[in-house]
Amino acid sequence: MSTNSTQLTVDVAIIGAGPAGLTAGYLLTKAGKTVAIIEKDATYVGGISRTVEHEGYRFDIGGHRFFSKSQQVVDMWNEILPDDFIQRPRMSRIYYEGKFYSYPLRAFEALGNLGLWRSTVCMASFAWSQLFPIKDIRSFEDWTSNQFGKKLYSIFFKTYTEKVWGMPCNEMSADWAAQRIKGLSLWGAVTDGLKRSLGLNKRPNDGQGVKTLLETFRYPRLGPGMMWDAARDKIVATGKGQVLMGHALDQVAADGEGGWRVSANGPAGKVVIKAAHAISSAPMRELAVRMHPLPDTAWNASELKYRDFLTVALKIKSEDLFPDNWIYIHDSKVKVGRVQNFRSWSPEMVPDPSVACVGLEYFCFEGDGLWSSSDDELVELATTEMEILGLLDPRDVIGGAVVRQEKAYPVYDEDYAANVAAMRHELEDKHPTLHLVGRNGMHRYNNQDHAMMTAMLTVENILAGTRLYDTWCVNEDAEYHEAGDEGAEKALPARETTPVSEDQAAALASVREVPQRVGRKAA
């Protein structure tokens, strides 16, 4: 070992200080175990749930409402951050050609915004789709056009969906469209919108009982990063946990005794962590190439793909531009997909009451033109696009900052499920003390509470010294539809001894649907 290497010996080494890694570290140190957490970012913990600070302004990476059907998750949030949650009004709208459209739809408003001629065209297009539907429904475009007509599909579905996922709607599967928009019909939306416009629906939620339409939500007053900063501080305060910032994973090596030597490169040289257990929230693709010995399924992991994301925050000398938490940009003239208003998340995110601060969200692939643009170029692009949308005067922009988030969304292509299952089962068989958790650690497009629950159950397994729980258990049909046959995703029976509770399942079920490509055949 070189002279600039440091060696630590702990009970558990944790890779990544996102929600999953910090949840594991918090619960393990609380139970008296020693942990060392390595985090590649030199400044921030929280992963995609971090809050970035720039000149006193705070930026949320994608927006994180603190809602969970799992009381266990909610209790942990309250335990870590007991006094700093605020209740915020929820408002999100669609922006199209200079007009805002309420979500859910308000019939009179929508008709007024579209105008008489375009509304007539939309209804005629819908009538045509009912009389002459597409018979061979294969794609998102086919299914949605049949449901709503080509015109409404092009206004309210096509542009935004293609921006987010980076592929044409005619290449996304119809099955995904049916899951994504299930229960929504044009007639239902119009009649519901008429009732709401006339004030005939009852509260709460104007007759809407769906989770995504809740009218208020809880939020840490300084952004979601406040939660994870507090978790890190509590881990360190126990005297049993270390969080090593600016440390990039170098190797995860089996020590020949059932444990691990995790090495990382940091500002002061290499750190080697010797531990009986290792927990990884690193992307499966990155973990595989850093393991020693190299897994047989390293090739499978190398085939996993990701969608990346960046936020351009603009400071504008103005009162707030709009009251929404965020607005969806359904306009093909610009590349931006969504615009956040940070003061609507929490007034404390924006320190100057005379300045509005908004975040333009761009969905991209690492290495493409957007991702590779300089910060100055991206601030200029964001300013120009806000002017095109008619949302600001560029002379009022007084500053900007860019936050890049690589591997924001695991991509569910037609081979991902088989590739994930291959690596998962090899690691379970050969390395039972290596545990995969979180969004990228398990290659699952999940919510914060799902990531936390995978870590909570992993901690239970470690403390028990046996695999009590199958952390891959998801009680949600949509997930199985996308991942293949339900039976293929079962855990190894000999290891699955304790079923998860309804409360735990509620968090584990918070995996979101992702489009499959057209042409994927059932096995």
C-alpha–C-alpha distance, residues 69 and 509, integer Å: 10
Residue 477's pLDDT is: 37
Token pair in block for residue 153 = 């599909």
Residue 103's pLDDT is: 73
Residue 155's pLDDT is: 87
- pLDDT by residue for the chain (523 residues), tens digit each? 445 789 999 999 999 999 999 999 999 999 999 999 999 999 999 999 999 999 999 999 888 889 899 999 999 999 999 999 999 998 889 999 889 988 766 767 877 898 989 989 988 999 999 999 999 999 999 999 998 899 989 988 899 999 998 889 999 988 888 777 755 555 555 555 556 555 655 544 443 334 344 478 999 999 999 999 999 999 999 999 999 999 999 999 999 999 999 999 999 999 999 999 999 999 999 999 999 999 999 999 999 999 999 999 999 998 888 899 999 999 889 999 999 999 999 999 999 999 999 999 999 998 888 999 999 999 999 999 999 999 999 999 999 999 999 999 898 887 898 999 999 999 999 999 999 999 999 999 889 999 999 999 999 999 999 999 999 987 433 333 333 333 333 333 444 568 899 999 999 988 888 888 886 544 4
**Around Cβ 332, how many Cβ atoms within 10 Å?**
12
Peptide linkage before 432 cis (omega within 30 of 0): no
Residue 21's pLDDT is: 98
Sign of the torsion angle spanned by Cα atoms 499, 67, 480, 411: negative
Query: What element of type H or E holds 200?
Result: none
Contact predicate 279/272, CB 8 Å = no
3-state secondary structure of 452: helix
Residue 515's pLDDT is: 84
Residue 190's pLDDT is: 59
Residue 225's pLDDT is: 96
C-alpha–C-alpha distance, residues 462 and 460, integer Å: 6
Q: For the chain, how many helices (H) and strands (E)?
A: 18, 19
pLDDT > 70 fraction of the chain, expressed in percent and rounded? 87
Residue 247's pLDDT is: 98
List the Cα angle 317/319/321 in 5-degree steps: 100
Count how many residues are written for the chain. 523
Residue 9's pLDDT is: 98
Residue 296's pLDDT is: 97
Strand partners for 312: 360, 402
| Region for 369 from its dihedrals, namely left if φ exceeds 0, alpha if ψ lies in -120 to 50, beta otherwise | alpha
Residue 193's pLDDT is: 54
DSSP assignments along 312-375, one per residue: EEEEEESS-S-S-SEEEE--TTS---EEEEHHHH-GGG-S-TTEEEEEEEEEE-TTSHHHHS-H
DSSP assignments along 109-161, one per residue: HHHHHHHHHHHHHHHHHHHHHHHS--SS--BHHHHHHHHH-HHHHIIIIIHHH
Residue 231's pLDDT is: 98
